[in-house]
């Protein structure tokens, strides 16, 4: 392909520094380990296994998906809609390569993905594409997340969609079922295998705004 067709990355985003990647992975593993042991989770195990009696080891169930990051714009090497416009956005150009701190405010689990919700600051929202939330009426930045793992055969694009799905339920006034007060925060069940842990203390993660070519 001519060079101009490959000069856009696969995606732009915030890439967590390696020291904090380890910390976030540990936190997520601890969460999965604890979730697995909760009576509330066992009660809804069929959401994951299809069978009530079967056991699931969540730490094995989810496979890691590479370096931890929060995608801003998926460009697909320029083939995604709005990719070129995004790359040419003055804020994107000005802030490319800069250091940020992204705030992880919740962890969520579904039968497909495990992820962390990222709450963006106003400055960070300048780097957020207008079309990310798709047709949902959720505010810009709602989809911001870090994929921590995916079930067998599930692509990481699913993590943000799972988060939007949970946030849409909340927006519709569905409070979910309070399940457990954990050391990390409050755990809520939203049905169909959807669990959200609101972190008592957000995790501040140093990250670099950059891009990934793959
Ligand atoms: O976990 P993620 O945010 O989900 O990070 C990866 C990254 O781009 C490389 O695959 C995300 N991704 C893939 N396809 C899309 C898409 N159509 N829209 C938004 N993000 C996407 C994926």
In this structure, how many other beta carbons lie within 10 angstroms of the beta carbon of residue 66? Answer: 9
For position 2, what pLDDT does the model report?
56
Check: CB of residue 198 under 8 Å from CB of residue 188. yes
Long-range pairs of 136-140 with CB within 8 A, sequence gap ≥ 24: 136/164, 136/168, 137/171, 138/164, 138/167, 138/168, 138/171
How far apart CA 42 and CA 56 sit, in angstroms, is: 9
Structure tokens at 1: 């392909």
The pLDDT tens digits of the residues spanning 10-29 come to 999 999 999 999 999 999 99
Of 28, 71, 154, the one to substitute when testing ligand 1's pocket (max ligand atoms within 8 A of C-beta) is: 71
Write the residue with the smallest CA distance to atom 18 of ligand 1: 74
Residue of 44, 112, 145, 194 marked active site: 145
Give residues (CB < 6 A) around ligand 1: 10-11, 71, 74, 147, 156-157, 159-160
pLDDT at residue 41 tops 90: yes
145 catalytic per annotation: yes
Q: Which residues contact residue 102 at a Cβ distance below 8 angstroms, ignoring those fewer than 6 apart?
A: 14, 16, 70, 118, 120, 124, 146, 204, 205, 207
Three-point CA angle 87, 145, 120, nearest 5°: 70
Task: List the residue whose alpha carbon is closest to atom 12 of ligand 1.
Answer: 157
- Digit-coded pLDDT (tens) for 89-109: 999 999 999 999 999 999 999
**What ipTM describes this predicted complex?**
0.99
Q: What are phi and psi of 150, to 5 degrees?
A: -130, 145
**Phi-psi category of residue 66: left, alpha or beta, with phi > 0 → left and psi -120 to 50 → alpha:** left
How does residue 34 score in pLDDT terms, banded at 50, 70 and 90? Answer: very high
Q: For residues 188 and 174, what is the distance between their CA atoms, to the nearest angstrom?
A: 11
- Which is the closest atom of ligand 1 to the Cα of 115? 1
Residue nearest to atom 3 of ligand 1 (CA): 71
**Residues contacting residue 84 through CB under 8 Å, at least 6 positions apart:** 8, 78
- Encode pLDDT of 107-166 as tens digits: 999 999 999 999 999 999 999 999 999 888 999 999 999 999 999 999 999 999 999 999
- Choosing from 65, 69, 117, 143, the catalytic residue is 69
User: Mutation test of ligand 1: which of 157, 160, 162, 207 has the most ligand atoms closer than 8 Å to its C-beta?
Assistant: 157
Are the CB atoms for 145 and 70 separated by under 8 Å? Answer: yes
Q: Where are the alpha helices (DSSP H) in 45-120?
A: 46-49, 58-61, 83-88, 90-95
């Amino acid at each position: 392909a001519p060079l101009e067709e490959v000069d856009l990355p696969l995606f732009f985003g915030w890439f967590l520094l390696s020291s904090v990647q380890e910390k976030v992975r540990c936190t997520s593993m601890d969460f999965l380990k604890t979730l697995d042991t909760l009576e509330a989770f066992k009660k809804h195990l069929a959401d994951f296994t299809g069978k009530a009696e079967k056991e699931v080891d969540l730490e094995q169930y989810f496979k890691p998906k590479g370096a931890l990051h929060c995608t801003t714009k998926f460009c697909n090497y320029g083939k995604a809609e709005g990719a070129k416009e995004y790359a040419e956005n003055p804020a994107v150009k000005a802030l490319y390569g800069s250091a940020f701190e992204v705030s992880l405010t919740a962890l969520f689990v579904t039968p497909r993905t495990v992820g962390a919700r990222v709450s963006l600051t106003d400055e960070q929202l300048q780097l957020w594409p207008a079309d990310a939330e798709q047709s949902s009426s959720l505010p810009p930045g709602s989809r911001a997340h870090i994929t921590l793992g995916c079930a067998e055969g599930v692509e990481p694009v699913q993590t943000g969609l799972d988060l939007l799905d949970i946030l849409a339920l909340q927006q519709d006034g569905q409070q979910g079922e309070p399940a457990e007060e954990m050391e990390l925060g409050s755990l809520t069940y939203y049905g169909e295998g959807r669990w959200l842990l609101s972190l008592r203390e957000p995790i501040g993660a140093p990250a670099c705004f950059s891009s990934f070519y793959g």
